Every structure is written in C-alpha cells, then in structure tokens.
Amino acid sequence: MDRFLPQRGGTALDIRIIEAKHSGYGASGRADGFVTPTIGKDIQALVKEFGPQRALEASQAVGRSILDIGRFARRNRIDAQYEANDYLMVATDAAQVRRLEEDLRLAERMGAAQLEILPSWNPPDLSETVAVVTGASRGVGRGIALALGSAGATVYVTGRSTRDGARTEDLPGTVDDTADEVTRRGGKGVAVRCDHGIPADNAALFERVNADHGRLDLLVNNAWGGYERSSEVRFDAPFWDQPMWRYDLFEASLRAQFDVTRRLVPLMLPQHRGLIVGISFSDGDIYLGQVGYDVFKSASDRMCRGFAADLRKRGIAAVSLHPGFVRTERVEAAWAAMGDGPASVVHSPEYVGRAIAALFSDPEVMERSGKVLSTGDLAVEYGFGDVDGRQPPAFRLEGRMSLATRMHRLNKVVAARSDQ
C-alpha cells in the first residue's frame, strides 16, 4: 500500500478499510491511481434493505471518496490501490477531508464498508523554525529530522557519516542523504559533518548556524556512540569484565551532548524561547543490565533536568524523550533473526520526530520542562499516529531480559550481517 504523505500545512486523515465492497457499491480502483465509479449488482441488496435514495447516497459516497483519493494520487504521481485491510492515508485540504470522512461514515452506515478512523498527523507549520538534530545520519536522528522537514523546518543534520567519506559501523545513511530528504519533504536540510566529541566541531557548528540565521529554536541531542565496537565484548557483561574503552564511549557521548548544548544555547537566549530535547532511555528504577550503560542513560535524563532548571527563567524548555522500540537501520539488519515478537510495540523513527514537533508547537511546553517523557504517551496526549497509522504504546521493560542483553543480541546479529 503506497503512503499518502501529508502536505505541509494541510490536513491528513488516516482511514483503515476493515471490509470494503467498492466494486459493488460505487467505485473500483487500479494500481495506477485512476479510479472509475461503478454500480455493481450488489447495489440491489442496498436498494432492497434501505430504499433507492439511501442506497444511491451510499454508492455515491464511496465513489466520491475513492475518486478523491485517486485524484490526489494522480496529482502527486503516487500509485494507489484499494484493498481490504489496507491503510488509506489521505492528505488534502481540510474541507475535502471533512467531506471524505462524512462520505465514508455514510458508506459504513449503509453497509458499503466497515471503517476505523486511525490517529493521523497534521504537521504543524514549522516553516520559521531553525533546528539542529545531532546524530541524524540514520536511525532515530534521521527520523526526527524527516518529521521536522515534513513540517517545513530548516534542519541542520549533523553526524560523522558523509556521502564522500566513511560511514560509522558501515551502516547505510549519511548526513547528506538525510538533508536531501528533509528538503524533498518541504523543509530545508543542511548537512553538517560534525563529530560532537571534538569541541572544535561543535564550535564550528555554532558559527555556521549563527552566520546563517543568528538564532536557534530547537536542539535535539540524539548523537550516541555507546554501541560502537559492541561485537568485541558482550554488551551485557558484568562490570568487572567490561573494558574501559566502553565506559569512555559512554562518557564521551554524554560529554558531547553537554558541550554542543552549552555552545548552542546562546543562540536561543535572545528570543527567550526554545526547546532542548535529549534522546535517552530509562525505565524508572529498573536496572538496564550494565553498570556503565545504566549510569550514563540515567545521567542523560538528569542532565536535561539540570538544563531545565538553569533555563527556566529564560523561557527555554529542556526535556528528556524516550523512544520505544525503534525500527532503525540497526534493527532492520537483525529483524529476520528477531522474529515477529516486537511487532506490536515497534515504531518508526519518525514517530519520535512527530512527538518533538508536537512538543515544540505546544504553547504550554514550559510546563513539561525538566520532565522525562515517552513517545507513546505523547502520541496519545497529542493525538498523532505513526507513519502506518498505528499508535504504539510507551515502551516498558518487562520480563527477565535486561535492556543491555537485548542490545547485545541485536548488536551481535548486526555484526554477523556486516561480516557476510
């Protein structure tokens, strides 16, 4: 099923067709997006049950609705198909969306289809927003950058992987690729090769943003090098078997977040508004399964709380945001080995970006400053869904397997795949 991407500033409606009888009740579709309204023999059953006028209304409702989808598909050169149990993600103007929903609801009442209206995402207008997303070559950082781009933001995409240079861990994705996609979606992507563990790189990033815009509205600290070299020593080994180089990776990642934040915050101070988001994970008092990992993930949350305290009187919010089980490139590499178990809670990297866009657009965001937030909880509160229309819940550690052990198994599979 091809995805109908929301247009910036438009309105989206996600509709799941539980059971559709388009060919009998008013429309048929082809994969090229051309739609032809039809009247099938089953219309007689509707006439008999509801009378000719209501049967005609139901038939026309389905026909008009699917015709709208087909026209949108043709206009945007998107292939479309209409099948039971698929998602139809429709992006168009608000009036057309309202009519579409009314038509489909009527069709449902008339027996032409059974529907479920799913959480959608109407991107806020971030066309005047300047954002920096660190570690955005791939994974969660890339998803955040793309979601902000769909909302029209200018996004400085930072990372160490470039199109003309080396890629970390040999995984796909570069800052150039992400920046290009941000621009394609309606924002402005700016690729910046940056190792945030090097102070000079962070200083150069400040100079670049300052020269281009003289301000910064949103900073997302996503860069994390703590999973590198994971195949060399078990990620979940007890602390006495852990090498100090792994501790150093964790420490360097946290230090990098601190350094880039202290350098870029002066670009937020003059306008007395801004948002800092730290991407991390912890689950209350549950031990994550590895001492260094647990300490530095908890420290990341505490650092955001400290940022918030220092910035509260400046009108700048700082929060820690926890994704769920994200289907990143790393997870994709191991998906076959992991099986279908995680499918109910897994979500796309863009789900996290939609949460950040919602937070940034919330005029009451200062009330959340200093808090630890979860993507799944924010989706429910702000009413948005993932790119497939689902609304995965907040991720909680359950069972006896620690997060460190889960990461060890994941990293082991990724390493084996890269050696093939």
How would DSSP label each residue in 4-41? -PPPTT-EEEEEEEEEE-HHHHT-EE-TBS-EE----T
Residue from 87, 156, 227, 293 carrying the catalytic annotation: 293
Compute the distance between CA of residue 324 and CA of residue 351 in angstroms, rounded to an integer.
9
Nearest to 88 by CA among 108, 109, 73: 73
Identify whether the C-beta of residue 359 lies closer than 8 Å to the C-beta of residue 339.
Answer: no
Count of residues in the chain = 420
The per-residue DSSP string of 187-212 comes to SEEEEEE--TTSHHHHHHHHHHHHHH
State the Cα–Cα distance between residues 155 and 269, nearest whole angstrom. 19
DSSP secondary-structure letter at 163?
T
Question: What tokens appear for 200 in the block?
Answer: 């000079």
Cα-atom radius of gyration of the chain, to the nearest Å?
Answer: 24
Task: Enter the tokens of residue 125.
Answer: 């207008």
Give the pairing type, strands 35-36 and 28-29. antiparallel
DSSP 8-class letter at 276: E
Cα–Cα distance, 99 to 121 (Å, whole number): 18
SS3 of 89-147: the string is: EEEECHHHHHHHHHHHHHHHHCCCEEEEEECECCCCCCCCCEEEECCCCCHHHHHHHHH
293 is catalytic: yes
Question: Which residue in the block uniquely carries the two structure tokens 């992507």?
Answer: 189
Q: Is 88 helix (H, G, I), strand (E, B) or coil?
A: strand
Asked if residue 191 lies in contact with residue 175, where contact means CB atoms within 8 angstroms, the answer is: yes
Q: Which residues are catalytic?
A: 293
